[in-house]
């Protein structure tokens, strides 16, 4: 059995490790992050050229099943995988880590809505952890932002007043607590990515009574099979034999 694993997450790397070498698995990374953490086994880097390109690649490479373990906000890739697997008549599994309980956070539907909430609430010093793709929503904000990202964003997308912090998780509670205090943060803006690697900022914000604006996850394509753990994904693949 040949399995395409759409990856780039810790869960994808753990799944590749759990399956290698008994399953012929090919991991695929988008290629947006320089020097990415690579999984065990064969890896391809780069896009497929949309649904048509992915469908053709699946057929040309004799793929028997696809596991989508991309980031919960990689909605375009997930939609393309669902459509391509439907056209190629291949089984598809989405491995999506459980979302965080938003608790008292203000939950919004998009980066744009998050920016509007920051402006409306009058927050002045914001810890912004939504990633590069959503920064342009904040480019006209009056607030000062501490922007954390893995790679440097385009300068045209940045707000007028900010400090850029380039780093890669995991992030721990004690360090996040210090960061929020040092920068006198009065609001945290984040996406509901789930998982433990970046959970510390939420716990630190709660300890300091700092309000959180949380962007909700995009909906998954209708009808896809989903699991929340690597172990469940291993069992699903075993059941295809």
pLDDT tens across the length of the chain (241 residues): 899 999 999 999 999 999 999 999 999 998 877 778 889 999 999 999 999 999 999 999 999 999 999 999 999 999 999 999 999 999 999 999 999 999 999 999 999 999 999 999 999 999 999 988 889 999 999 999 999 998 888 878 899 999 999 998 899 999 999 999 999 999 999 999 999 999 999 999 999 999 999 999 999 999 999 999 999 999 999 999 7
Give the SS3 label for residue 42.
coil
What pLDDT sits at residue 31? 81
92 preceded by cis ω (within 30°)? no
Calpha distance 108→191 (Å, rounded): 9
Task: Using the CB atoms, write b or e for 70-109: b if 16+ within 10 Å.
Answer: bbbbbeebbbbbbbbbeebebebbbbbbebbeeeebbebe
What pLDDT sits at residue 136? 93
What is Dmax (Cα atoms) for the chain?
57
What pLDDT sits at residue 141? 94
HSE, side-chain direction, 13 A CA sphere, residue 102: 18
What pLDDT sits at residue 13? 96
| Domains of the chain in sequence order | 2-98+219-238 (3.40.50.720), 106-215 (3.40.50.720)
Calpha distance 63→179 (Å, rounded): 45
What pLDDT sits at residue 193? 95
Calpha distance 18→13 (Å, rounded): 9
Calpha distance 8→30 (Å, rounded): 7
Q: φ, ψ for residue 3 (rounded to 5)?
A: -120, 130
The pair of structure tokens assigned to 13 is 């790397």
What pLDDT sits at residue 52? 97
């Amino acid at each position: 059995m040949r399995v395409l694993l759409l990856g780039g997450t810790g869960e994808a790397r753990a799944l590749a490790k759990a399956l290698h070498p008994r399953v012929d698995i090919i991991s695929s990374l988008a290629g947006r992050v320089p020097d990415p953490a690579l999984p065990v086994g064969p890896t391809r880097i780069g896009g497929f050229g949309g649904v048509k390109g992915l469908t053709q690649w699946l057929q040309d490479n004799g793929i028997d099943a696809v596991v989508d373990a991309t980031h919960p906000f990689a909605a375009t890739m997930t939609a393309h995988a669902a459509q391509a697997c439907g056209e190629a008549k291949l089984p598809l599994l989405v491995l999506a880590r459980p979302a965080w309980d938003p608790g008292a956070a203000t939950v919004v539907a998009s980066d744009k809505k998050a920016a509007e909430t920051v402006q409306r609430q009058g927050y002045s010093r914001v810890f912004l952890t939504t990633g590069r793709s959503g920064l342009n929503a904040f480019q006209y904000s009056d607030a000062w932002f501490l922007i954390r990202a893995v790679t440097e964003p385009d300068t045209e997308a940045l707000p007028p007043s900010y400090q850029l912090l380039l780093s890669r998780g995991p992030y721990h509670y004690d360090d996040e607590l210090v960061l929020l205090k040092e920068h006198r943060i009065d609001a945290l803006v984040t996406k509901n990515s789930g998982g433990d690697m970046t959970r510390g900022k939420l716990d630190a914000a709660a300890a300091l009574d700092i309000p959180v604006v949380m962007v909700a996850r995009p909906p998954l394509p209708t009808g896809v099979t989903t699991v929340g753990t690597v172990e469940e994904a291993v069992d699903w693949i075993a059941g295809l034999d």
